Structure 1
Amino acid sequence: MDLALLKNLSHAKVLVVGDVMLDRYWHGDSGRISPEAPVPVVKVNQLEDKAGGAANVAKNIAHLDGKVSLLGIIGKDECGDTLQRLLANEKIASELVVQESHPTIAKMRVISRHQQVVRLDLEENFTQEQSQLLLNRLAQIIDDYDFVLFSDYNKGSLTLIEPMIALAKQAGKTVLVDPKSKDLSRYAGADFITPNLSEFKAAGGEVGSEEIILASARNIIQNCGLGAILLTRSEQGMSLITLQDKFDFAAQVLEVSDVTGAGDTVIATLTVMLAAGMAPKDAVEIANLAAGLVVAKLGAATVTPEELGRKLSQYLLQTGEHYQAPFEDVLQHIEFAKRNGETIVFTNGCFDILHAGHVRYLAQAKAMGDRLVVGLNNDESIARLKGADRPINPLDERAMVLSALKSVDWVIPFGDLAQNDTPAALIEQVNPDILVKGGDYTVEQIAGADFVLAQGGKVAVLEFLNGCSTSNVIKKIKTQD
């Protein structure tokens, strides 16, 4: 696998077409049973809206740095307006068609103590005439994209998917389909379809043994005019099947919190990795990894390049240097994490020779939130602060070592003369929830503390491990010499 291709994630130009939805979550505690019926009473204290259905597929692509647009149907209503705002916040270009005759599809979930109590579906299936509107719009914009991903939730938007796929293939596009129809011949011409085991069996697939699965899948591929089937198999992992090959991928061993949206993550990740130039086998391997990460999260979640890079023990470059991702991309990933409800912790330092005190300190900082951003003094800054003989290790090497720590999510260098060797300007850009500094500082002495506190954040001072310092390490080495 050529992981250097992960640098090309932003090259993906993808159009997602399908059934878009608004996912609404009502969170609250349930401490008693209703006197009106044997059901729990949930006292709602938090409301949350998320892009769902095909919109969640597009969101997954955006969070992986792909350039993505969404073509679907919404109603002229509050749910549709909310969905449009969510797409704009996620940097997803909207090609949504508004129809007054039908409501925006919405799914409302009541969540208590991390468990779904009930789901309410508000929807009316779209008609062939409305699907024709999507086909017409697809014909107008198809040339702007390299990949077309059809997300079929059987709500009517893709009633005319056969001519849609034909149009995309005539335009020379790579086509992927997350299917719902039992008749897989409707997706003829698709390069990849991603049924789960239940959908595969409903379409006539047989699963008695690995040999039977292979023969059955190849029969479907040949009879339905498909390029390949990526069969998602829950605890059995995934299988990529073509007329020539079969590759099996074991499920990732992670605690499952919620499988909602896992299929969306799989096809989104597969598409972005293919667009980055990966071979199908390698793209599926990473999609399988992404699925293992997303099921450990609650709700229709997403994964980021950092998470995938960490799991692969590398980042966007083969050296694993997080900070070499474009700065604006890093800030976008941090913003995505915030929108997912994650707490951002920031700390900074020189970290010239990494020692036990650093490792413990960074682990303690990470434990205060969900994601840790490390501001790293550049070489010029350290020379000004510590003397001409420092740093011992250059920026690239220091960043690589920090990036390998489980506690560290992002490393961002700073230290231009205009910043006066403090991370204050960087802290304002990151806008962390918690600012952490090690040593015997008072809060008033910590650069950026006033900004974080003014934003409603927290500032914490952690003790260093006695006797552990880069200066002591250097002194010990010189003594031994």
Structure 2
Amino acid sequence: MQQLSSPPSAKPRILVVGDIMLDRYVIGEVSRISPEAPVPVLAAKHEENRPGGAANVAANISAMGGRATLLAVVGEDSASTELEACLQRYDVNTLFVKDSQGGTTQKTRLVVGSQQIARVDRDVRPTGQTQQRLLDEFERQVKGYDLVVFSDYAKGTLDRLPEFLDVAARQGVPTLVDPKRVTPAFYRGAYLLKPNNNEFIGLFGAYGSDQELVAKASAAIDELQLQHLVITRGAKGMVIVSAGGHTDFVPTRARDVFDVSGAGDTVLAALATELSAKRSISDAVHRANVAAGIAVSHPGTYVVSEQEIDAQDNDFSHEHPKVLTEDQLKIALVNPRLHGKKIVFTNGCFDILHPGHVRLLKAARALGDVLVLGLNSDDSVRKLKGPSRPINNFAHRAEVLAGLASVDYIVEFDAPTPLETIQYVQPDVLVKGGDYPVADIVGYSEVTARGGQVLALDFHNGYSTTKIVDEINKTRKS
């Protein structure tokens, strides 16, 4: 059995090989039908590029704590340059084999709001000569890595995968494979094979029960000399079948599913990173399951960070995934910023939640795409409101606020003012409720200096925590 060799204290060195693509998103609005044909006219407002295919796997590995190197074929074109720029954002090292006769695969999605209305694909297959150059480069590089990930989208890069697997086996480097072919022998000798349910059926045949699935998987492990089969089954979770008879059924993590694009890439990246870090197969699949839940809750392909997985994986954040530490919040805001989302910030004690609070937060959220709420710590509330406050401690206040659809993230601050929090959040819009001049709002200078907006929203008369507390005290006395 191949052993994962990276010492626990080092970042695992992971080589990703496979079909890569540049995912383009053209986002805009539709308000009319073309006079030339019965099709909608998209008025483009924003464009962005994201790494796709094996490039998405590499970006996720890097964000999850691995040292990722991507070995792949690209064309001598502007798309390869743009894709490399995307990967640099995630600190992915690239070993590109240029194919002068081909090009870089691209997928362009036309999006209105969060809905795709069309996709334009430019698929390019590498020549036989380029495939040989790729294999030669792999032979030179593989011994320097702890693990190799093969991300096969059946677009030609891995047409000679059995030869790659043989090279890795001779060097004693474990291999993880995301399959797309229907010939089982194509994957003989892999350390771990990760098909989805349809891919499993295509490779090993349909099954009528969980027991039959395990039997087919066990037979495949023996026949193909695998160590693990991890089958992803969408809402049914994942199944682990390992050499030696270990079997486990892992339920899915309940999340609102927004978009399943790239979820398989996320799982593959998490498995590679976790196994390279010496985690057991059960722990690795558990973490991959958490990562997949995060990925599908965002539109389009999404790069999941180690900090996001940690935040979802501890008990408090599992129950209250919106409540983050300062470090977790910084990471959580990376992807929204990369995708051009507008960050709104507001703050307060919110000791007893009342309609005025709810209306303020709803209005604040409407000013952007992500609302971050800075919530005073218990000590901070006492300093501001007196020794009898807060009525509700931080955990209780945070749990209630996390239940509001308008609130995306909550972060605690202990200082008398939220200035330090504002400085690391760097909001595009800063909001406070009240009728005082905006220039008096804490953080005004810092936000406006970066071109941001500062707004004082209407205060809703008749609603006040202090007033509620006074009414309760009067009722007690009477």
Equivalent residues of 2:99, 2:127 under 8 A apart: no
**TM-superposition CA deviations, 1:249-270 (whole Å, max 9, x none):** 3345545433221211221222
Q: 1:319 to 1:263 in 2, by over 3 A?
A: closer
Question: Is the 2:324–2:409 Cα contact (8 Å) retained in structure 1?
Answer: no
- What is the distance in 2 between the residues matched to 1:317 and 1:212? 33
Query: What does residue range 199-214 of structure 1 map to in structure 2 within 5 Å?
Result: 199-214=199-214
Q: Which amino acid aligns with 2:448?
A: L
Query: Residues 9, 100 of structure 1: CA spacing in aligned structure 2 closer, same or farther, 3 A cutoff?
Result: farther
Q: Which residue of 2 aligns with 1:303?
A: 304
CA gap of 1:232–1:9, structure 2 versus 1, over 3 A, is: farther
Residue 265 (structure 1) aligns with: 266
Q: What residue is the counterpart of 1:14 in the other structure?
A: 14
Runs (5+) with no aligned partner, structure 1: 1-7, 416-420
Cα–Cα, structure 1 residues 40 and 456, in superposed 2: closer, same or farther, change >3 Å? same
> 1:51-450 counterparts in 2 under 5 A?
51-112=51-112, 114-243=114-243, 244-305=245-306, 307-309=308-310, 311-312=312-313, 314=315, 327=327, 331-348=330-347, 355-356=352-353, 364=362, 369-373=368-372, 402=398, 405=402, 407=407, 409=409, 411=411, 423-424=418-419, 427-437=422-432, 441-450=436-445
Structure 1 residues 83, 460: CA separation in 2 closer, same or farther (over 3 Å shift)? Answer: same
Distance in 2 between the 1:226 and 1:362 partners? 57
Distance in 1, matches of 2:255 and 2:317, equals 23
Q: Does the C-alpha gap of structure 1 residues 29 and 426 become closer, same or farther in structure 2, counting only changes over 3 Å?
A: closer
User: How far did 1:178 drift?
Assistant: 0.8
Q: Secondary structure of the residue that 1:72 maps to in structure 2?
A: strand
Q: Distance in 1 between matches of 2:169 and 2:455?
A: 57
**Secondary structure of the structure 2 residue equivalent to 1:203:** helix
**Within 1, Cα distance between the matches of 2:174 and 2:436?**
57
Whole-Å separation in 1 of the counterparts to 2:229 and 2:87:
30
> Residue type of the partner of 2:130?
Q
| Separation in 2, partners of 1:391, 1:189 | 64
The count of residues paired between Structure 1 and Structure 2 equals 457
User: Are residues 32 and 183 of structure 1, via their aligned partners in 2, closer, same or farther at CA, if it must alter by over 3 Å?
Assistant: same
| Separation of aligned partners in 2, 1:10 and 1:340 | 31
- Identify if the C-alpha distance between structure 1 residues 320 and 398 changes in structure 2 by more than 3 Å, giving closer, same or farther: farther
CA apart distance, 1:81: 0.9
Q: Is the 8 A contact 1:377 1:413 kept in 2?
A: yes
CA positional deviation for 1:342: 3.5
How far, CA to CA, are the matches of 1:318 and 1:43 in structure 2?
41
Distance in 2 separating the partners of 1:431 and 1:176? 39
Q: CA 1:441–1:318 in 2, change beyond 3 Å: closer, same or farther?
A: same
Contact 1:323 1:411 in 2 (8 A): yes
- Please say if 1:460 is aligned against 2:455: yes
Distance 2:383 2:235 in 1: 55
Against the structure 1 CA distance between its residues 355 and 53, is the aligned structure 2 distance closer, same or farther, given a 3 Å change threshold?
same
Counterpart contact for 2:184–2:204, Cα < 8 Å = no
What secondary structure, in the 3-state scheme, does the structure 1 residue paired with 2:227 have?
Answer: coil
Identity across matched positions, percent: 34
Q: Partner of 1:153: helix, strand, or coil?
A: coil
What is the CA deviation profile of residues 192-213 of structure 1, one whole-angstrom value per residue up to 9, with x for unaligned ones?
2111222222223322222222
SS in 1 for 2:117: strand
SS across alignment from 2:302: coil
Deviation of the 1:148 alpha carbon: 2.0
Q: CA deviation at 1:152?
A: 0.8
What is the alpha-carbon distance in structure 1 between the residues aligned to residue 156 and residue 288 of structure 2?
A: 27
- Residue 60 of structure 1 aligns with an amino acid whose one-letter code is N
1:418 counterpart residue number: none
Displacement of 1:183: 1.9
Secondary structure (helix, strand or coil) at the match of 2:204 reads coil
Q: Give the alignment's Cα RMSD to 1 decimal.
A: 4.2
The 3-state SS of whatever aligns with 2:259 is coil
The offset of 1:401, in angstroms, is 7.7
CA distance in structure 1 between the aligned counterparts of 2:257 and 2:332, rounded to whole angstroms: 24
Q: CA deviation at 1:143?
A: 4.8
1:31 and 1:377, CA in 2 relative to 1: closer, same or farther beyond 3 A? Answer: closer
Structure 1 residues 212 and 133: alpha-carbon distance in aligned structure 2, compared to 1, 3 A threshold: same
Residue aligning to 1:45: 45
Deviation, 1:83, is 0.6
Q: What amino acid does structure 2 have at the position aligned with 1:446?
A: I
What is the alpha-carbon distance in structure 2 between the residues aligned to residue 381 and residue 236 of structure 1?
A: 45
Q: Is the 8 A contact 1:375 1:412 kept in 2?
A: yes
Give 1:165 shift.
2.9
Write the letter of the residue equivalent to 1:288: N
SS state of the match for residue 199, structure 1? helix
Query: How far apart are 1:34 and its partner, in Å?
Result: 4.3
Tell me, what secondary structure is at the counterpart of 1:432?
Answer: coil
Change in CA separation of 1:381 and 1:311 when aligned onto 2, cut-off 3 Å? closer
The answer on whether the counterparts of 1:314 and 1:320 sit within 8 Å (CA) in structure 2 is no
Residues 386 and 145 of structure 1, relative CA distance in 2, 3 Å threshold: farther
- 3-state SS of paired residue (1:96): strand
The runs of 5 or more residues in structure 2 that have no matched partner are: 1-7
Do 1:9 and 1:64's aligned partners in 2 also have CA atoms closer than 8 Å? no
After TM superposition, give the deviation of residue 223 of structure 1 in Å: 1.1
In the other structure, the counterpart of 1:5 is: none
Query: CA contact under 8 A between 1:344 and 1:434: conserved in structure 2?
Result: yes
Name the aligned partner's letter for residue 337 of structure 2: K
Bigger mean CA deviation after superposition, 181-190 or 311-320: 311-320
3-state SS in 1 of match to 2:303: coil
Partner of 2:4: none
Q: What does residue 3 of structure 2 align with? A: none
User: Do residues 451 (structure 1) and 452 (structure 2) align?
Assistant: no
Aligned AA for 1:100? S
Maintained 8 Å contact 2:308/2:331? no
Instruction: Work out whether residues 73 and 97 of structure 1, in 8 Å CA contact, stay in contact via their aligned partners in 2.
Output: yes
Give the deviation of 1:105 after TM superposition: 0.9
Matched to 2:465, the amino acid is C
Change (3 A) 1:426 1:131: farther
TM-score (norm 1): 0.78
Report how far residue 377 of structure 1 moved: 7.7
